[in-house]
Amino acid sequence: MSTKLPRRHRILLALYPPSFRERYGDELGALVEDALPAPRVALDLALGAARAWIEPTFGGTPGQRQRDRMLATILTVFWSWSLVLLAFAAFSKMVDDPPVRGLRVPLVHAAFQVSSASMDVATGLIGLGALSYWGLIAVTARREHGLRNLLPATIPIGAGLAWLVVSWGATWGLLHFAVGHRLPLLAAVGLVVLLLAWALASVALAPICWVSIAVAMRRAGLSVRLLRPGLIGAVAAAVCLVVVVVSMAITVASLRGPGGLAPTVENVLLGSCVVPFAAAVTGVGLISGRRGLRADREASTAPPAPGPVEVGTRPPSS
């Protein structure tokens, strides 16, 4: 990438998918360098990066394109699940901790239970797939006598365990030293700073785990045959997320009546932000799942490429 480009343009070019940068990065950088300096260029780059992630292009042989498409679907659904999981946690906290009065209505309670059960099924599918592919990555790394493939796969595990330990320690400290006690001003400020640092670390942990998992899966070089069960499981998880979001929307809509959600800031955010965010993220995962299934079906039904005809042999008659 040329260093003559403005810093903001270099950052926007770096946001494009790796496969896109590998194929078109130099050409796109040259076009941006020749373009007139205008705010429109940065906007076009940002929109192009979004389109490149939503509709990625894959190069190589048909088998490589099929494999990359299936892998992209598996990773996209995993990311969608993790974001919907956060949204569902906020949804459950606002509705069921403590339970609002309208949650006792049979229809609302049934919708809430369906959303919880669907989230559990999606989490089970994601967990089973993660364990299976971690084992495959470990076998691949052992066969190649190196830790290059295994190291990115262990980062999410170590980071998750560290986060659980720190979270448990912070909760224990709050319950024993902060709750019900009058803290000095300096101690209170320090506690707030620690909680903010924990929150920022939690937010930064998710993209680190996402990138590590993507790198580990790509380095493993798993075949189409091994990726196909993961693709089917990812599509099933995406369907479960659709049920989760629909049930969340029914629950929130039903609680808007008398005796339901009080017009607090939290509940306004629940209805106007959490559920639409989960719906948008689920839509991305569902679209990616449909494209993965279509790519797998098209590759399975495509006729085999004709092999070379040896000299002196007679081609088969039609």
DSSP string, 108-176: HHHHHHHHHHHHHHHHHHHHHHHHHHHHHHHHHHHHTT-STTHHHHHHHHHHHHHHHHHHHHHHHHIII
Contact present, 14 and 47 (Cβ < 8 Å): no
Q: What is the pLDDT of residues 12-68, one digit of tens each?
A: 777 777 667 777 777 777 777 776 566 677 778 888 877 777 666 676 777 888 888
Quote the pTM value. Answer: 0.73
Structure tokens at 231: 């693709």
Check pLDDT > 70 for residue 267. Answer: no
pLDDT band at 244 (very low <50, low <70, confident <90, very high): very high
Q: Which of 210, 205, 219 minimizes the C-alpha distance to 150?
A: 219
Residue 307 has a pLDDT of 44
Q: What is the mean pLDDT of residues 237-248?
A: 94
Check pLDDT > 60 for residue 265. Answer: no
Residue 309 has a pLDDT of 40
DSSP-derived letter for residue 223 is -
Residue 317 has a pLDDT of 46
DSSP-derived letter for residue 181 is S
Mean pLDDT of the chain: 77
203 or 242: which leads in pLDDT? 242
Q: What is the pLDDT of residues 170-222, one digit of tens each?
A: 677 666 665 556 666 676 677 677 777 777 777 777 777 877 888 888 878 88
Helix (H) or strand (E) segment spanning residue 74: helix 62-96
Residue 204 has a pLDDT of 75
Check pLDDT > 50 for residue 312. Answer: no
Residue 314 has a pLDDT of 45
Classify 305 as helix, strand or coil.
Answer: coil
Q: What is the pLDDT of residues 103-140, one digit of tens each?
A: 777 888 898 899 999 999 999 999 899 888 888 887 77
Q: Rounded to whole angstroms, how far apart are CA atoms 53 and 20?
A: 9
Distant-in-sequence contacts of 296-300, Cβ < 8 A, 24+ apart: 296/66, 296/69, 296/70, 296/224, 296/228, 296/231, 299/62, 299/63, 299/66, 299/224
Residue 161 has a pLDDT of 79
Check pLDDT > 80 for residue 77. Answer: yes
